[in-house]
A = this chain, B = another copy of it.
Amino acid sequence: MKDIAVWGFSWVPPFAQGLVRDLRVRWALEEAGLAYESRWIGTDERHSDSYRRKQPFGVVPALDSDSGTMIESGAILYAIAEQCEALMPSRQRTETLAWMFAALNTVEPPLWHLFVIDQLHNGEAWATLRRPGAVEEAKARLAALSAWLEGRDYLLGRFTAADILMATVLRFVRHTNLVAEYLPLDNYLKRCEARPAFQAALRNQEAGYLRNAPVAA
């Protein structure tokens, strides 16, 4: 994979900074030691015909390279990991992909729901009424995940692309104490976030937001 460019939003409000899904792709590229450029798209521009031809749903990330455009963070990470033993042991591809889907389809939904309630609809009557049930559903998944992580440094023992997805999913509830309630889970997230590749990815994403921040009136 050559001539890589990652598409992300040019700016998002502070509550969303460090959570937008292009972070996953940046992190994987940093782990793999692959150079990349950044492409920034505004929230208006993302519904333009030209961007929709790249990403049919008008969301981020997308990745351009010499082999064309790829969409969906999960699929992009798998494609990067296929070329990088450090992100996916060739003998454990099925298991890695299983945990990648577990992150995005089993753990993300209840955590994202809580993010939507607290960060996008905070104070609305439905959100206040729904919140206790949503917390219970999130805790059920976090408890199961924490039990799995007991005695394991990472989901498959060693670090893989699945940990990039799972850690970024857990960050959706960083505004709560939920992860901290489960010691193995709390240690796991800290272990993931301490990786130099994560820190580099975060700095890269933040650099874009700083450059593109709206000018105060």
Binding site for B on A (CB under 8 A): 52, 56-59, 70-76, 78-79, 94, 97-102, 104-106, 108-109, 112-113, 124-127, 129-130, 141, 144-145, 147-148
Bound Cα distance A124, B130 (Å)? 9
Pairwise interchain contact A102-B70, C-beta atoms closer than 8 A: no
Interface of A is mostly: helix
Task: Give the residue of B99, B108, B126, B141 whose beta carbon is less than 8 angstroms from that of A126.
Answer: B126
Known: A112-B109, A130-B126. A70 touches B94 (CB 8 A): yes
Q: Is the CB of B71 within 8 A of A102?
A: yes
Distance of A101 from chain B, by nearest CB (Å)? 4
Contact of A129 among B97, B98, B125 (CB under 8 A): B125
Chain B residues whose CB sits within 8 angstroms of the CB of A73 once the complex forms? 101, 105
The closest CB in chain B to the CB of A165 belongs to B105
A72 touches B105 (CB 8 A): yes
Whether A141 touches B57, Cβ cut-off 8 Å, given contacts A78-B97, A129-B126, is: yes
Once A112-B109, A130-B126 are accepted as A-B contacts, the answer to whether A75 and B58 lie under 8 Å apart by CB is no
- Taking the nearest CB of chain B, how far is it from the CB of A177, in angstroms? 22
Residue from the list B75, B101, B127, B130 in contact with A75, Cβ < 8 A: B101
Q: Are A109 and B106 CB-contacts (below 8 A) given A101-B75, A144-B58?
A: no
* Contact pick for A104, options B70, B97, B104, CB 8 Å: B104
Given A70-B98, A79-B94, decide whether A144 and B57 contact each other with a Cβ distance below 8 A.
Answer: yes
